[in-house]
Structure 1
Amino acid sequence: MSIADASPGEPGYWIGQMQAVALRRDQACFMRIYDHFAPRVRLYLRGLGAPEAVAEELAQEALLRLWQRADTYDAGRSTLSTWLFRIARNLHIDRLRRENHWIAVDIEPALDCEEETEDPAFSSAESFAAHADLNERIDRLSAIQARLIRMSYFEAKSHQQISDELGMPLGTVKSSIRRAFQRLQASVQESV
């Protein structure tokens, strides 16, 4: 099956798209990545507190970085969504630091703990501990809740995509994710 015949829900689809961008500078593959991830990255940045216009700008900058650095992506270290969301997160932090009224923002728990990148911010013991703690909390959820959280937040799949992939009713997916997220929040608040 060629890249053109594959669908976004299939394993390895995004890896194939990134390989085409990295090796051949394939614009069609990049546009598929852009169309899928730009709204998700923008929403993620809005969740971090970025105003709509800033979130849009940072999302575009993150995807531009993806285009420029596609050859540095290593599928063995992280999923494409994790890699891209880390780029967006770092851009957001850099922007906050440049502003005169910078306030420290705790946004670490929003990321998946996959393999560490070469970025020094991700190699610290504190960062590793925070990621490990989040994964441990997710692992304490029921198996289906943990899977739904990972699919929704770390694989950037829409509720409809999750519903289709797992054969679950859309309403069940939405309510299960909401309950799982509430359990995670309660778990974090108990430890504070």
Structure 2
Amino acid sequence: MSTLDAPSREPKDWSADMAAVALHGDRDCFLRIYDHFMPRVCQYLRGMGAPDAVAEELAQEAMLRLWQHAAGYDPARSAVSTWLFRIARNLHIDRIRREPATHQGLGQEVEFDVELQPDPASAEDYAESVHLKRRIDALSSVQARLIRMSYFEAKTHQEIAGELSMPLGTVKSHLRRAFLRLQGEIGGQP
């Protein structure tokens, strides 16, 4: 396969679709944007601590605002994904501020540290990382801990075995099973 045939990892440029929505109220372009971003925005909001129903409601509101304010989008300032994820984030923060009693314990999650913010250029990558974190959290506690130590703390199998007082073969087999489980679950996603 030549480099011309290789699939691009570059994100799609949605600015032409946004221009069609802004200028002509193009429903087909809006539906393409909606179909692509709706599940990602929901996932992003769930990663910020919003319950499933609230995440879906806020994502719907974000998509409605995209439709209503499409003319306010400036492709020179940001990607469509950045603009949309920022709308969703602001809606989430506004909801928490309006309903503090229903979101006890979430106050710490609203205090965003600039360094912890997802890179606006990679908001979709952030949503995917939230999805991966949920998959890792669903593993057994031993497997989840080993995955975190191996991949996120960059520890060798030998270092993990020593730190946890586990036989090296046990560490390797647990990691292999955890990796296969993650790979199967992620591979099964549409």
TM-score, normalised via structure 2 length: 0.55
Displacement after TM superposition at 1:98 (Å): 0.6
Alignment length (residue pairs): 122
Distance 1:62 1:150, change over 3 A: closer
Q: Is the 8 A contact 1:82 1:154 kept in 2?
A: no
The separation in 2 between residues aligned to 1:27 and 1:50, in whole angstroms, is 28
The separation in 2 between residues aligned to 1:150 and 1:87, in whole angstroms, is 12
The letter for the 2-side match of 1:152 is: D
Displacement after TM superposition at 1:10 (Å): 6.9
- What is aligned with 2:125? 152
Q: Is the 8 A contact 2:40 2:124 kept in 1?
A: no
Displacement after TM superposition at 1:100 (Å): 3.3
Distance 1:107 1:46, change over 3 A: farther
Q: Is the 8 A contact 2:13 2:79 kept in 1?
A: no
Partner of 1:76, secondary structure, is coil
The letter for the 1-side match of 2:100 is: N
- What is aligned with 2:141? none
The separation in 1 between residues aligned to 2:34 and 2:108, in whole angstroms, is 29
- What is aligned with 2:171? none
Displacement after TM superposition at 1:67 (Å): 0.3
The separation in 1 between residues aligned to 2:24 and 2:73, in whole angstroms, is 14
The separation in 2 between residues aligned to 1:41 and 1:93, in whole angstroms, is 14
Distance 1:85 1:151, change over 3 A: closer
**Unaligned 5+ runs, structure 2:** 1-7, 133-146, 154-190
Q: Is the 8 A contact 1:112 1:154 kept in 2?
A: no
Displacement after TM superposition at 1:151 (Å): 6.6
Paired-residue identity, %: 56
Larger RCO: 1 or 2 (CA < 8 Å, sep 6+): 2
Tell me how large the CA RMSD over aligned residues is: 3.2
- What is aligned with 1:19? 19
Q: Is the 8 A contact 1:81 1:155 kept in 2?
A: no
The letter for the 1-side match of 2:24 is: R
The letter for the 1-side match of 2:59 is: A
- What is aligned with 2:45? 45
**Unaligned 5+ runs, structure 1:** 1-7, 115-148, 160-174, 184-192
The separation in 2 between residues aligned to 1:42 and 1:68, in whole angstroms, is 19
TM-score, normalised via structure 1 length: 0.54
- What is aligned with 1:78? 78
The letter for the 1-side match of 2:118 is: L
Partner of 1:13, secondary structure, is coil
The higher radius of gyration belongs to 2
- What is aligned with 1:110? 117
Displacement after TM superposition at 1:155 (Å): 10
Displacement after TM superposition at 1:112 (Å): 2.1
Distance 1:57 1:99, change over 3 A: same
